[in-house]
Amino acid sequence: MGSRRLPICLLLLLPLFFLPGCWSQVEIDDLAIVRAIAIDYLPDRRAPFLVTMDVIRPGDIAGGGDAGGGGGGGGSPTRLFTGNGATIDLAIQQASFNISRRIFLSHNELVLVSEDMAKHGLHSVMDFIMRDNQMRLTNFVLVAPGMAHDILAAPERLETGIADEILGLLAQARTSSEADPQEAYRMQRQMSTPGQDTHAPVLRISPHLTEVIPEFREEMMEQGQDEGSQESQGQGAGGAEEQVVPQKELTLAGAAVFCGDVLRGFLDPIETRGFLLLKNGVKLAAIVVPDPLNPEKKVVLTVSRAQATITPVLSGGKVSFSIEVVAEGDLASQRSESDLSAPEMLKKLGSAKAAAIKIEIEKALQKLQELESDIVGFGAILNRSHPQVFREIGENWPQVFTQLEFDIHVTAHIRRTGQLSRPAPINR
């Protein structure tokens, strides 16, 4: 017994070398945690990929964001690092020369792709997302008109970092129904499926108020100078300029439409909503119709539930699609003082809403046919119900798609009228 005890004790000591996790350990302090990646494509260069990474600043992981944010100057909790190379991997590798830590992509949640990159083809982006063992297929892919780098360089407004800001926008998009965030694996599936094209939400730097409303500009200049002079006393030089140069804001609305992996064009927010109505993706939307009693005034109706059923119709060797939409919602606001609460009025509003929805869908489909991009997946729907037919015409589905005819029927119901049954009377 005594002779066996020593070897056993030594054997028990052996796990000490492996179990404490000291072997090739990686501490959090050694990692550059990337939250978002922007990929730009610069054509006609030997190293066309420009990759920008949004890396969390080490000090701000543990410390409260408030303390850093309030401190003025270096308030941003993240830093941008860029690199360029002949492929995305090489660009990241080049960026790593500037980073004092090891790049860690497992917590990356956003991939921003510039318009040029999307026009060149998403394949290299998707390949990077799927092949890299740190990247996740749940990364959201967004298209940025212009440079994707500029989006990450925009300052955050409410959240503690630009990545959180964009993620917040994505979460909100589900309620505005004017953009459709898609994870990478969904996009890849759509690209792989015959008779289906993919799309991605569009994230752009919004035009500042002064550009939209010219009157605003002069007002801002005056105010800016006033406030600037006050500020400069408190904060030091440079305050005036910062006030005049408007802070950038981000807008998530619309859809980038692909054919294969190549960007074909953009849907505007309303067209995107028309498309989402077909995909049952509308959770909340506001539709404007004329007041039945007072046609020059407007009534706003919400769509809180919409169900579309798409069925292929074959007649005489020709394929067309019948689209049935049932929408439900409330009366959200009205500009006239007329009483719209009577059941027949709500019926009228319902049919006006149905007509408006139908027009929205038609416009979206028309645009998609112009762009030759079947992002609704009519081909895939046809393939599911009539695989033989699809096998014959699926070879040149994009051409078939542009010639497709649609038969759209919309029924809409107004269920409630909000807190008011009729407008509160005003004595004149």
Partner 1 sequence: MLEKGKISPRQAGELMFITIMATVILFVPAITSELAGHDAWIASPAGSLFGLVTVLLVFILGIRYPGRTIFQYSEDILGRFLGKLVALSFVWFFLHLAATVVRQFGDFLTTSFLPETPLSVFNFTLIFLAAIAVLSGLEVIARMNEFIILLVVSSLLAIFSLSISIWEIENLFPVFASGIIPIARGAIVPAAWHGEIVALAVIMPFLTRPRGALVSGAAAVLGSTALLTTALIAVQSVFGPDFTASMHFPIHLFVRSINIGRILTRFEVVIMIIWVAGVFIKTSVFYYCAALGIAQVFGLSEYRPVVLSLGLIIAVFSITLYSDVAELAHFLRDAWPVYSISMYSLGLPLLLLSVSLVRGKLSGEAQGKDKQDG
Distance separating alpha carbons of residues 68 and 72, to the nearest angstrom: 8
For partner 1, the binding residues in 191-230 under the rule CB under 8 A are 192-194
Binder of partner 1 out of 185, 244, 326, 417 (CB under 8 A):
185
Least spacing, CB of residue 365 vs partner 1, in Å: 20
Rule CB under 8 A: choose which of 80, 90, 99, 130 binds partner 1. Answer: 130
Which helix (DSSP H) or strand (DSSP E) does residue 365 occupy? helix 343-371
Cβ nearer to partner 1, comparing 194 with 207: 194
Tell me the residue length of the chain.
428
Judged by CB under 8 A, the stretch of 45-53, 154-162, 173-181, 377-385 that binds partner 1 is 377-385
Q: Does 136 bind partner 1 (CB under 8 A)?
A: yes
Interaction of residue 389 with partner 1, rule CB under 8 A: no
- Scanning 183-191, 207-215, 273-281, 341-349 for contacts with partner 1 by CB under 8 A, the matching segment is 183-191
Q: Which of 34, 218, 253, 230 is nearest to 132 (CA)?
A: 34
Q: Minimal distance in Å, beta carbon 386 to partner 1? A: 8
DSSP 2: H
Examine residue 188 and tell whether it contacts partner 1 (CB under 8 A): yes
Residue in 102, 157, 297, 391 binding partner 1, rule: CB under 8 A: 391
Report yes or no: 38 and 162 within 8 Å, Cβ to Cβ.
no
Residues β-bridged to residue 405:
320
Closer Cβ to partner 1, 130 or 332, answer by number: 130
Which tokens in the block code for residue 408? Answer: 């759209």
137 interacts with partner 1 by CB under 8 A: yes
Per CB under 8 A, does 123 bind partner 1?
no
Q: Do 139 and 111 form a contact (C-beta atoms < 8 A)?
A: yes
Consecutive H or E run containing 325: strand 318-334
In sequence order, what are the beta bridge partners of 202? 143
Tokens of 27: 């501490």
What minimum distance in Å lies between the beta carbon of 123 and partner 1? 12
Helix (H/G/I), strand (E/B), else coil: 288: strand
Q: How far is the CB of 35 from partner 1 (least distance, A)?
A: 13
* 155/184 Cα distance (integer angstroms): 25
What amino acid occupies position 383? N
Give me the residues paired with residue 55 across strands.
34, 79
Closest distance between partner 1 and the C-beta of residue 50, in Å?
A: 26
- Helix, strand or coil, per DSSP, at residue 322: strand
Q: Which residue of 303, 312, 383, 401 would you call a contact of partner 1, by CB under 8 A?
A: 383
For position 387 contacting partner 1 by CB under 8 A, the verdict is yes
| Interaction of residue 244 with partner 1, rule CB under 8 A | no
CA distances from 15 to 4, 19, 356 (A): 18, 6, 71
Nearer to partner 1, 155 or 387 (CB): 387
- Provide CB contacts within 8 A for 381, sequence distance 6+: 195, 310, 311, 312, 321
Asked whether position 124 contacts partner 1 by CB under 8 A, the answer is: no
Q: Which helix (H) or strand (E) holds 253?
A: strand 250-259
Which of 3, 24, 100, 396 binds partner 1 (CB under 8 A)? It is 24
Min CB(106)–partner 1 separation in Å: 8
User: Does 248 sit near partner 1 (CB under 8 A)?
Assistant: no
Rounded to a whole number of angstroms, the CA Rg of the chain reads 28
Contact between 385 and partner 1 by CB under 8 A: the answer reads yes
Number of residues that bind partner 1 (CB under 8 A): 18
What is the smallest separation between the CB atom of 78 and partner 1, expressed in angstroms? Answer: 18
Residues of this chain that interact with partner 1 (CB under 8 A) are 24, 130, 133, 136-138, 183, 185, 188-189, 192-194, 383-385, 387, 391
